[in-house]
Each structure stands twice: as C-alpha cells, then as structure tokens.
Amino acid sequence: MSWQQRIGQALDERRAADAFRTRSPVTQGAGRYLTRGEQRWLNFSANDYLGLSQHPAIVGAWQQGAARYGTGSGGSGHVTGYSEAHQHFEQQLAEWLGYPRALLFISGFAANQAVIAALLHKEDRIVADRLSHASLLEAANLSPAQLRRFAHNDSAQLAQLLAKPVEGLQLTVTEGVFSMDGDSAPLAEIASVTEAANGWLLVDDAHGIGVSGREGRGTCDEQNVKPDLLVVTFGKAFGLSGAAVLCSEEVADYLLQFARHLIYSTSMPPAQAVALSEALAVIRSDDGEARRQKLREHISRFRRGAESLGLQLTNSTSAIQPVIVGENHRALALAETMREAGCWLTAIRPPTVPAGTARLRITLTTAHHAEDIDRLLEAMHGVRQ
Ligand SMILES: *Cc1c(COP(=O)(O)O)cnc(C)c1O
C-alpha cells in the first residue's frame, strides 16, 4: 500500500461514517455571538464560560504586556523565556489554589502529555476514568506504564483496579468536570480509594477552574479535595490559553528536569502571562462572582426549559449541557437545523464520545442574555425524539 492509498482509505472511512471533520474560519468565535462575515449566530459552542475573552481589562493587560515585553518570549523557560511576568503569575496561581508551586505550560494538552510522560515508568499503572480527555488517555497510551480504565465516575471499580498487584507506582487520573458530558467526578471518594492504594491522584480541572468553588478555585475546592497533581487550563473560563500544573516543590523541580514539553519548547509570550494575571484578578473579584452567578442562572434556565421539552440531558450542573441524540447523521442534521434557527452549536460524534451517543454539545456563557437561552429552547422544540 502506498502513502496515498493509506491516507485516501482513512479519509474514505471517515466520510462513510459521517465522521469527517472540517474547520471553517470565523470572524469572531468566542462570546455571545459567533460571526462569519456578515452572518451572526448565538454562540452555544465556545468554552469561554465567563465571557472573559472579550473583557476590556484583560485585553488591555495583554496590550500593555506586549508593549513592555514585546511579542514572543524568545525561547524555552530553561534558557531566556522565563520572565518576571511568568514567575509572578505562577506565584499568584500557587497561592490562590493552595499549592507550593505552579508551572506554566503552553496548553492543557502539552501539560497532560508532559506530566504523564515524565512521571510514569514501565512497571507503573495508570488508572483513568474511561471518559478522560484525549490528551490524558493518549499520554497514558503512549507512556510505557500499564493503562487501565474505570467506568465513568465508578470509584468502586477504580478501587478494584488499584487493588490488583503492581510492581511499580500507581496514578489515578480523572477530571473535575467532564468535557463531553459536563458532569463532575466524585473526587472525595476517588481521592480516598487512591490514597488507600498508596497512589497519587491527578485531576484535570480544565472546565471547573474559574467557574466553581470559592473565588472560582474549581471543582477540587468545591469538593474539598487536594489532588497530588492539579492541572488547570486557561483556554476556557480564563478566556485565554495555556495551562498550569499545581504540585509540591519537589514535583515542580522534577518536572523542570524531566518534562520535555517544558524544556524543548518556547514558553508562552510574557504578555500572555500578564493577561492571565489580570484574568485571575477578575475571576477572584466581585465581577467574577457576579459572572459565575449569572452563568448559574443561565444553566438552571436551560435545564428547566429542556426538561419541560422532554430532551435527554446528562446530570450536568456545569456550563456544558449535552443533549444526547444517538446516531451521527441525526446529530449533524439537528446541528444544521439549529444553525438555520440562528443558534450555533456543535454535533459531537464518536470517537470523541462512545458510539451511539452522538450529541449536541451546548455550552452556556455569562456573555449570553436570558432571552438567548429562551431562543435556544424555542429552536430545540423539534429535537425531541
Ligand atoms: C480543553 C481540555 C484540555 C486541553 O487544554 P488546551 O489548553 O485546550 O490544550 C485538557 N483537558 C481537558 C479536560 C480539556 O477539556
């Protein structure tokens, strides 16, 4: 088989399964509206949960940061790319979340790959929630350690898997809020069975940070759990991009030696770190609290309305509100109908979610107005099975 044949066959298979992915450029993709040239839709697809991507103080901070530091960091943090702005933001994050150290990464994907690759050895075992994000499961698959997956949020099965004999060390991996279902992990139980097995716990709180907990400290704060490794990302509620790993002094020093994504990659622009500090200040402020309150109101408004329409929701109390529709073609057709009605949302299909559970993934944001939620619900009238 030639390269052309191999690639052509893979593309044909994707098309045949209604799973072919494409991108289309937007004029504006985060915030209340998605705009494409002259066309405009209410945006129910972005992860900008608090509407911070458009916040004037944060935009201003990025501009000022660029004026002061220039555009790029100039190199890896191990050479010249670790600025005072990076250090300042890391210290703020560590203090906010109650960890000795925070290390910045350019993305959540990179952070998860780096941590799992750096920590796990061949004789070790990773036990991960079956619905963990691709960046976690792929890192676990690539690592030399054994990977075992437990049924979604099933801490009893997790305990059973952790109890099986293992030569090396064990790492439990889960998320604060699951990206495709919007539900939360039972972190206290997961932490306690992990501790009982002498394992460590990694929680990826990409969708919880900024949104839940005191001052937006996330799902772990909300559930009063302190994982050994906490990954937070800034592409969602923070309205920017990047990520951080919160950990002990020793783990931070270890990652600085062995995390290749840190060592062999240009650090984020210092101006981005300045903007992230400003985003954190907003998240912790009364403005942040008011934004979280408004988001919670949108979420209850949507769930009340969707339940009265008889739609199949998940038990999510987060800004991620999937409506399960089943088959791929149906999800695609419904997403199209919704767009015709002025509401932009995404059909999520396998392999991102299990086969037969294609869904419309609706995300709500503080940037929405209450009447936007009503308009979405009105457009969803036709979705009932
Ligand atoms: C979005 C997401 C990531 C990836 O983070 P990026 O910063 O976008 O690379 C990792 N984990 C989870 C759970 C996510 O939802």
pLDDT tens for 173-221 read: 999 999 989 999 999 999 999 999 999 999 999 999 999 999 999 999 9
Does residue 204 contact residue 112 with C-beta atoms inside 8 Å? yes
234 Cα nearest atom in ligand 1: 7
pLDDT band at residue 160 under the 50/70/90 scheme: very high
**What is the best residue among 204, 316, 348 to mutate for testing ligand 1's pocket, by most ligand atoms within 8 Å of CB?**
204
47 Cα nearest atom in ligand 1: 1
pLDDT at 19 exceeding the cut of 90: no
Q: Percentage of the chain with pLDDT > 70?
A: 99
Q: Give the orientation angle of helix 270-284 with respect to helix 286-308, to 10 degrees.
A: 70
Task: Check residue 290 and give its pLDDT.
Answer: 98
Summarised one tens digit per residue, pLDDT across range 312-364 is: 899 999 999 999 999 999 999 999 999 999 999 989 988 888 899 999 999 99
Task: Check residue 18 and give its pLDDT.
Answer: 80
Does residue 269 contact residue 130 with C-beta atoms inside 8 Å? no
- Describe the strand order of the beta sheet including 125-129 as a list of residue ranges: 101-105, 243-247, 229-233, 200-204, 170-175, 125-129, 146-150
Biggest CA pair distance of the chain: 61
pLDDT band at residue 150 under the 50/70/90 scheme: very high
Distance, CA of 244 to CA of 108 (rounded, Å): 8
Task: Check residue 383 and give its pLDDT.
Answer: 65
Q: Provide the 8-state DSSP code for 345.
A: -
Question: To the nearest whole number, what is the mean pLDDT of the chain?
Answer: 96
**Ramachandran sector of residue 326 (left: φ over 0; alpha: ψ -120 to 50; beta: rest):** left
Mean pLDDT lowest among 224-233, 290-299, 340-349: 340-349
Residue type at 319? A
Task: Check residue 381 and give its pLDDT.
Answer: 85
pLDDT band at residue 75 under the 50/70/90 scheme: very high
Cβ of 175 less than 6 Å from ligand 1? yes
Summarised one tens digit per residue, pLDDT across range 40-67 is: 999 999 999 999 999 999 999 999 999 9
The single residue listed with the structure tokens 């240009």 is 266
Cβ of 132 less than 6 Å from ligand 1? no
Q: Provide the 8-state DSSP code for 194.
A: H
pLDDT at 288 exceeding the cut of 90: yes
Mean pLDDT lowest among 113-117, 341-345, 369-373, 379-383: 379-383
* Helix residue spans in the chain (DSSP H): 3-16, 56-69, 84-97, 108-119, 134-142, 155-163, 187-196, 219-222, 249-258, 260-263, 270-284, 286-308, 328-340, 370-380
pLDDT at 249 exceeding the cut of 80: yes
Distance, CA of 303 to CA of 237 (rounded, Å): 20
pTM comes to 0.96
pLDDT at 293 exceeding the cut of 90: yes
Distance, CA of 205 to CA of 199 (rounded, Å): 19
Active site residues: 47, 133, 175, 179, 204, 207, 236
Cβ of 129 less than 6 Å from ligand 1? no
Q: Give the orientation angle of helix 286-308 with respect to helix 370-380, to 10 degrees.
A: 20
pLDDT at 385 exceeding the cut of 60: no
pLDDT at 236 exceeding the cut of 60: yes
For ligand 1, atom 5, the nearest C-alpha belongs to 108
Task: Check residue 64 and give its pLDDT.
Answer: 98
Mean pLDDT lowest among 20-29, 190-199, 235-244: 20-29
Task: Check residue 384 and give its pLDDT.
Answer: 57
Of the candidates 371, 318, 383, the residue with the CA atom closest to the CA atom of residue 345: 383
> What is the mean pLDDT of the segment spanning 110-131?
98
Cα of 69 from ligand 1 centre, angstroms: 27
CB environment 186-209: b (16+ within 10 A), e (fewer): bbebbbebbeebebbbbbbbbbbb
Of the candidates 351, 46, 42, 349, the residue with the CA atom closest to the CA atom of residue 207: 46
Cβ of 231 less than 6 Å from ligand 1? no
> What is the mean pLDDT of the segment spanning 150-167?
98
